Amino acid sequence: MSARQQVTELLRSADVEVGGERPRDIQVHDERLYQRILAEGSLGAGEAYMDGWWDVERLDELFFRTLRARLERKLRSPAVLGRVLLSRLANEQSRRRSRRVAEQHYDLSNRLYEAMLGPTMQYTCAYYGPDGANATLDAAQRAKLELIARKLHLEPGMRVLELGGGFGELARFLAAEHGCEVDSYNISRQQVEYARGLCEGLPVDVRQQDYREAARESRQYDRVVSIGLMEHVGPQNFRAFFELARARLKPGGLMLLHTIGGNVSRRSTDRWIAKYIFPGGVIPSEAQLTRAKEDLFVLEDWHNFGPDYDRTLMAWDANFVAAWPALNQSEGLDERFYRMWRYYLLSCAGAFRARKLNLWQLVLSHGDLPRYEPVR
């Protein structure tokens, strides 16, 4: 069977046609695509899209279909197996290697992120909630911030440790609207600069340091919060992460962990995502998290609102597309970047829609609370 026939049959098993008329059907512009996919799997497919070898009207629907059909399992190449072996031998998220994702991804132009994320500059899942059918992205991001604050049962004067600070909006929100003092750790130069400007005049200390530097401190905190960092911590470091958080959390305190979660325990990520978007990133599973926190924390609450990330990503994509002409002109981003960025956003949207990815918020304690009331 030819490479074209093999790939065509695989796609057909996901109800996707080559040359079809539906939004999820792909249009091939270069016949070398089929062999490239068979040889290189997801990396070859993604790079071929960036190179303009194929197109599809709805990337999100294509990925929803192919992931539901588990086509990625049928396209494993020797390179994939080699990456799995490397992940077992090396700590891909060591302090030195962890800088790669900041330099390659988070230190991109702030104008790009301002255009895509909107006023809240929240680069994690928004919370639309049970009553958010008509909510805007900005309203849903503010609802996420409020949700975090309510789950942490904050009181004025509390000291909060933030591991992975993003652009600083959560730290600003906790300080300005809840009267907390915040120490925030982040290795992204661009994000730290932005966060310091945002939090100027507030009791917020934004530190351009690896989260592991917090282990050197003797200070303890009433609350510990980590939003969107765990995906970069890595399986070999999960236990140490929870040990650090436990050591920094006062008796009677609460920790909130917000992370993308996967249904299967892995030690590496998709090759295309690792090369172009999040080098060193690994999505944790339930089993990996519970093993890592075992005998360190009591799990008070586990909240999954993964479908909200599908909606968040679609909103980011719409913002990006609308802003592209200005970004293309002012930031010097080319057509290949445009295709790469949309491939990233829409493939992830499809993964959440297929329920291959989830979004979890865990609330943890030392186990010394008489009772914790879950919040939604």
Quick one: which of 232, 261, 227, 257 has its CA closest to 242?
Answer: 257
Q: Indicate if 125 belongs to the active site.
A: no
Tokens 């291959």 appear where?
356
Q: Within the chain, which residues score under 50 in pLDDT? A: 78-90
pLDDT of residue 87: 41
Quick one: which of 33, 39, 76 has its CA closest to 56?
Answer: 33
Which of these is catalytic: 125, 180, 199, 348?
348
Which residues, 6+ apart, have CB-to-CB distance to 320 below 8 Å?
A: 112, 115, 116, 327, 341, 342, 345
Report whether 103 contacts 247 (CB < 8 A).
no
Q: Express each pLDDT in 154-201 by its tens digit.
A: 999 999 999 999 999 999 999 999 999 999 999 999 999 999 999 999
d(CA 69, CA 258): 28
d(CA 50, CA 39): 17
Tokens 């046609």 appear where?
17
- Cβ neighbour number for residue 35 with a 10 Å cutoff: 15
d(CA 318, CA 308): 15
d(CA 185, CA 161): 8
What domains can be seen in the chain, in order of their start residue? 3-87 (no CATH), 95-365 (3.40.50.150)
pLDDT of residue 132: 82
Global pTM reads 0.93
- Residues paired with residue 301 on neighbouring β-strands, in sequence order: 363
pLDDT of residue 93: 53
Summary mean pLDDT of the chain = 93
